[in-house]
A and B are shown apart, each in its own frame.
Chain A
Amino acid sequence: MHVPRGGIRLPALALAIAALGLSGCAGSPDPNTLIVLNSATEPHEAADQQKLFDACAAPLGVKVVQTSVPADQVPSKALRMASSHSLPDILDLDGSDLPTFAGIGGLLPLQPLGVSFAGQSAGAVSMGSYNGTQYGIARAVDSLGLMYNTDLLKQAGIKPPTTWDELKRDAKLLTHGHTYGMAFSASPNADGVFQFLPFFWSGGGNEAHLGDGRGAPALQLWKDLVTDGSASSAVVTWNQQDINDQFVAGNAAMMINGPWQVPVLGSIKSLHWAVAPIPVPAAGDPVVPPLGGTVMTIPRTGNPTKQRAAAQLLNCLNTAKNQLAWGESEYYIPTRTDAARTYEQDNPELAGFVSEIPTAKTRVARVGTGWSTVETALASAFQNVLTGRSTPQQALKQAQSQAKSGN
């Protein structure tokens, strides 16, 4: 009956320690299973992924299991996995997150493991590289284009604009009633910055030197579109999905968006649309859109057998046939130039996207691990200009000091 004081606490403590210990070694991985961490939270995307994974894994005698979290949570999930020594065998990272992980030595160089980059476009190769070493391989990329409502443009008797002046003029022409001529996302996050980059870059802006003022014309263009009433003042709150909703609802005649919207647009029979390259400052200037998409990386798990298997899996996923299958199922553009050519022939309506890829640039090429601060600074810049808080020049100066101080 007598219960000593310590007797109560000791078993409880022992139980707690046992529980901690158990959770520490829980999920000890199966030697024949490769874990892939990606953002395939859409059921159909996960299923399409699994089909390709299974086909490639069978000859290697392994199984592939996907762990999927929303895209913006992949980096923090991967970091948590790193701290509990349970890193996945393949980490499918957004291209802009690669420098962070490569820079801290979390990833293995792919070429020594035998991963081949043969036939890949230069842009795709640069997406997976950090300080001249290949840490990631992109199976497919996406970018942005000018998507327009063909009926509305036909009614107005115009062709899609190719220069900024034409864009301003046509957007005004197409605006009446509840329909704005133009829609773009200027939300203060990755979406808005992704949409701003093609204008910023083709206008001569350099994200490593925001203070040089060369990004000002792009800021002015966006501001003019809103001031003219050709784009809603709500663009500062719209993400890329909202833009698409506006376009589908007939509230926008033209929009900046990417190929991932094609399934939604294609499912609406009454909506007729087409894709054109994003307008440039003057006729003949090259379009410089941002390269989006993920790169597959092999984290330092300390398991050479699995790392070799993962490398072989990557090679299989990147054959022309498999890249094409993946690209066509998700409307991404294959990174192998041969596969991209077939893709363009099979999907002529997406030619506007494919044609931009050779000049497209990655977001991190110039600033590397500093991208997240630059991204925040750029977002502040266009938000301040669009809401009338500062002029383009002031906004860029402020952005420069923001990017420098690291806040």
Chain B
Amino acid sequence: MSSTQNVAVSAPVSDGTRSRPSRAQGRRSALRWCFIAPAVGYMLAFFGYPLVRNVVMSFQHYTPSTFFDGRAPFNGLANWRAVFSNPLFTDSLWHTLVFTLGSLLGQFTLGLALAVFFSRRFRLSGVVRAVLLLPWLVPMVVSAVVWRKLLDPATGVLNTLLMDVHLIGSPLPWLSSPNAALASAVLVNIWIGIPFNMVILYGGLQEIPTDLHEAAALDGAGVWRTFRSVTFPLLRPVVTVVLVLGFMSTLKILDLILALTNGGPADSTQTLGTVSYQLSFLQLDFGQGAVVGNVLILISAVFAVLYLRANRADFGPER
């Protein structure tokens, strides 16, 4: 936005001389290209090429021998048909959606609650906030391995604790039952995602002028009313960013699941990410793996468009 303003402001000045308008204009547009070119080049090389390559690959018979002789014959829709007729794909699609929505709901609700809590200053609030950031700093695989130990039915800390306080009578099969494993994975991912949500939302809350809250208080609004009518509406742009970023990173989940359950037990935690990994790197059928990758991209793209539209709605009237 600021760059268009600058151009708009400087244009009349150079136009005022009117000596060599075409050359000045040429120089300006060349200069503009100069600034744009690196970004465009970068986008094309690191986003455009892989994207196109992945789409093309999903229509090819791409196997280990391709790496040796470079031949990857086009096989039409064969890969797509094979993937869509694989029951594991449909299952993993559901798992991915449940995992993503469940994780986002938990992360966001708890993250927002903590952000609101910490937006009121009190003793040690800074220290506690810093400690709450820790899960975010731990590498995903380390978190997963530690949680696997915590959730062990016989020796895990969680079951021991719950049984000692008599909340449960017998050990819960957190990760070893197909009925519970996906929910357990969601729990672990919520734990990992809370700090991110909290930090961004906390930042958003700091941006809201305090006089608005004071005004609301003077008008006799209670805590809940203030949150609903003042805090949340002003926080909306930040909320959109948090949810969309969270959605994108959760949708393509791979490392957490691989380290936590490896897709099991009985494929109950297979997601699009793990199925794509399995097809490409374990069964070495890169064409079918690319199909699943494309489905992931497609879902992300739909939400990216929704995000852009929501953004326009938020910032649109200002222009």
Contact = CB atoms under 8 A, between A and B. Distances in A.
Contacts of B249: none
B262 A188 contact: yes
Interface string A228-245: 000011111101000000
Interface stretch (B22-30, B198-206, B301-309): B22-30
Interface in A168-197: 178, 180, 187-189
A154 interface: no
B2 interface: no
Interface in B238-252: none
B91 to A, nearest CB: 12
Interface string B22-64: 0100110111011001100100010000000000000000011
A82 to B, nearest CB: 4
Given A9-B33, A232-B153, A383-B265, A76 B281 contact: yes
Nearest to B281: A76
Nearest to A104: B65
A301 to B, nearest CB: 11
A12 B34 CA distance: 10
Contacts, number: 128
B135 interface: no
Contact of A237 (B33, B65, B264): B264
Contacts of B263: 188
A374 B178 CA distance: 22
Contact of B68 (A106, A178, A187): A106
B175 A249 contact: no
B90 interface: no
A53 B82 CA distance: 45
B88 A16 contact: no
B67 A83 contact: yes
Contact of A407 (B64, B68, B86): B86
A380 B282 CA distance: 15
A1 B27 contact: yes
A79 B268 CA distance: 31
**Chain A: interface size category:** 35 or more
B261 interface: yes
A407 B26 CA distance: 58
B283 A188 contact: no
Contacts of A117: none
A237 B151 CA distance: 11
Given A3-B30, A383-B267, A386-B265, A234 B67 contact: no
A75 interface: yes
Interface string B250-289: 0000000000011111111000000000100111110000
A406 B82 contact: yes
Nearest to A381: B266
Given A104-B68, A180-B154, A376-B278, A5 B26 contact: yes
Nearest to B33: A8
Interface in A41-85: 75-76, 79-80, 82-83
A307 interface: no
Contacts of A83: 66-68, 70
Contacts of B264: 187-188, 236-237, 379, 383
A150 interface: no
B23 A2 contact: yes
Give 7 closest A-B pairs by Cβ, nearest first: A104-B65, A188-B264, A236-B265, A79-B67, A83-B67, A383-B266, A82-B67
8 contacts: A5-B30, A7-B30, A104-B64, A180-B154, A237-B148, A237-B176, A251-B155, A383-B265
Interface of B: 23, 26-27, 29-31, 33-34, 37-38, 41, 45, 63-68, 70, 82, 86, 88, 148, 152-155, 173, 175-178, 261-268, 278, 281-285
Given A232-B176, A239-B262, 12 more contacts: A2-B26, A2-B27, A4-B30, A8-B34, A9-B37, A16-B41, A79-B64, A101-B64, A232-B152, A376-B283, A379-B264, A386-B265
